[in-house]
Amino acid sequence: MASLAALALMLCFLLIPLPAMALVSDHAPYPFAFGTMSNRADATAKSAEGKLESAYGELTGDAGHQIKGKAKQVQGSAMNAAVDLKQGARSVAEKMSDVVSKVAHDLS
């Protein structure tokens, strides 16, 4: 029964595209937040897809699906790490900009 549920869930993920990009709008007040959410959603979806494919491989005894599933999980983790790195770099840049602005204001 659990194998049928896992297979049905995997088919849903593969056949129904995630509407993450529908959230991005040209008129959004915070486009970076929506872009980050989309990237994070893509990473989560890739990781979930990998877990499902790996589980399918374990159920059927197919080592190829197991390996592909693990690879997709690693890819999802790397995508999450890239989002974290971008957010960290943006935060550092904003703090540096604030410090430079304050120093420039103090000098004038």
Q: Is 24 a member of any domain?
A: no
Chain Cα centroid distance, residue 56: 22
pLDDT tens digits along 67-103: 999 999 999 999 999 999 999 999 999 999 988 888 8
The answer to whether position 95 is within a domain reads: yes
| Cα–Cα dist 57/42, whole Å | 22
Number of structural domains (the chain) is 1
Q: Is residue 86 one of the residues assigned to a domain?
A: yes
Residue 28 within any structural domain of the chain = no
Mean pLDDT of the chain, nearest integer = 78
Q: Which long-range contacts (CB under 8 A, 24 or more apart) does 101-107 make?
A: none
Whether residue 23 lies inside any domain: the answer is: no
Highest mean pLDDT of the ranges 11-15, 27-31, 84-88: 84-88
Please tell me the distance from the alpha carbon of residue 55 to that of residue 73, in angstroms, as a whole number: 12
Question: Does residue 51 lie within any of the structural domains?
Answer: yes
Q: In degrees to the nearest 10, what's the CA dihedral of 104, 106, 107, 108?
A: 90
At 35-45, the pLDDT tens digits run: 556 788 999 99
Q: Residue 69: inside a domain, yes or no?
A: yes
24 pLDDT higher than 70: no
Domain that holds residue 77: 2-14+39-107
Q: Checking phi first, is residue 100 left (phi over 0); if not, alpha (psi -120 to 50) or beta?
A: alpha
Residue 31, domain member (yes or no): no
Is pLDDT of 27 > 70?
no
Residue reference for tokens 């994070």: 40
- Banded pLDDT at 12 (limits 50, 70, 90): low
Q: What is the pTM of this model?
A: 0.57
Q: Are 69 and 56 in contact (CB under 8 A)?
A: yes
